């Protein structure tokens, strides 16, 4: 793949894209680039005021709607509101997330990281899937490699909580979901694509809000070795717009250790391709989130 940039984004006129977590960082850069290419972008943000600042900078191609992925009632409200105004949505970019936060729970009692990063996006995708016409892009991380899905204790009710393994579990869940979604879409003859991405090591607010003991070190190191949010957003933009983005593909930076660089197709670990765990996680997610899709059975 050549050095793909935002200049390669095809014309997005007459297309609607929903980007979660678009009030800052990768989400904001994704929204800006899509809007410049002509798309109507819905900034789905927990912090509406910050989202509005981004939207004001974009102009008439952007609108802000409140979405708190750590609260399923908010996810349902957002999906219902969007359905009332949009018959179809071309692309959903599941971008928002939290990283390595201290132990806490979502409004629905999920561990915060898997609750926000996976369950919130799973429910959102399920509720919007009937309106999505082109593709679903889910942002994972190279940290999926340290993750392990404990189907009997995904919410850390019996295990001693460890913030980085919990983050890794949530990012592995993102990949298992993206791959399983593609399998189910294909089995049902749907033309919709499910594509996963990761941003490498990008200098964004996520790096500074981990609340971990290494927070100060991260603040010092990130500007030196991390790439810009604009570069980190390129895999998402490629997956969301390129006609060459493959269904079921995984894209990330093409540089050393996939930390920075232009997007390319990358690989993920064996755990992310475990179809049994992916199917079980899908069923568990449907039950815990109380949502179902036309893809419930394959």
> Among the options 161, 167, 238, 276, which is catalytic?
167
The 3-state DSSP class for residue 208 equals: helix
User: Environment class of residue 123 by beta-carbon count within 10 Å: exposed (0-12), middle (13-18) or buried (19+)?
Assistant: buried
**Is 167 marked active-site?**
yes
* Alpha-carbon gap, residue 210 to 229, rounded angstroms: 17
Q: How far apart are the first and last CA of the chain?
A: 33
Handedness of CA 29, 30, 31, 34 (dihedral sign): positive
The 3-state DSSP class for residue 263 equals: strand
Q: How far is CA 77 from the centre of its chain?
A: 19
Q: How far is CA 107 from the centre of its chain?
A: 20
Residues 6+ apart with CB under 8 A from 114: 154, 155, 166, 169, 170, 173
Catalytically annotated residues: 167
């Amino acid at each position: 793949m050549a050095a793909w940039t935002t200049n390669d984004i095809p014309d997005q006129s007459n297309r609607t894209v929903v980007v979660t977590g678009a009030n800052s960082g990768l989400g904001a850069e994704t929204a800006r680039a899509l809007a410049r290419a002509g798309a109507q972008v819905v900034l789905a943000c927990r912090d509406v005021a910050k989202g509005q600042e981004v939207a004001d900078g974009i102009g008439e191609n952007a609108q802000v709607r409140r979405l708190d992925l750590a609260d399923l009632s908010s996810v349902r409200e957002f999906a219902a509101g969007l359905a009332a105004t949009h018959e179809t949505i071309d692309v959903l970019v599941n971008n928002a997330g939290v990283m390595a936060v201290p132990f806490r729970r979502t409004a629905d009692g999920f561990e915060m990281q898997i609750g926000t990063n996976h369950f919130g996006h799973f429910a959102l995708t399920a509720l919007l899937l009937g309106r999505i016409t082109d593709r679903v892009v889910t942002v994972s991380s190279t940290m999926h490699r340290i993750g392990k899905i404990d189907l009997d204790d995904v919410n850390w009710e019996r295990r001693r909580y460890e913030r980085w393994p919990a983050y890794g579990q949530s990012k592995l869940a993102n990949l298992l979901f993206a791959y399983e979604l593609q399998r189910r879409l294909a089995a049902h003859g749907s033309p919709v694509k499910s594509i996963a991405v990761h941003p490498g090591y990008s200098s964004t607010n996520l790096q500074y809000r981990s609340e971990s003991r290494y927070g100060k070190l991260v603040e010092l190191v990130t500007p030196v070795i991390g790439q810009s949010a604009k570069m980190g957003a390129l895999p998402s933009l490629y997956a969301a717009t390129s006609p060459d983005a493959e269904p079921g593909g995984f894209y990330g930076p093409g540089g050393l250790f996939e930390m920075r660089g232009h997007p390319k197709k990358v690989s993920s670990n064996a755990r992310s391709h475990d179809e049994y765990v992916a199917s079980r996680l899908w069923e568990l997610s449907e039950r815990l989130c109380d949502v179902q899709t036309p893809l419930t059975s394959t």
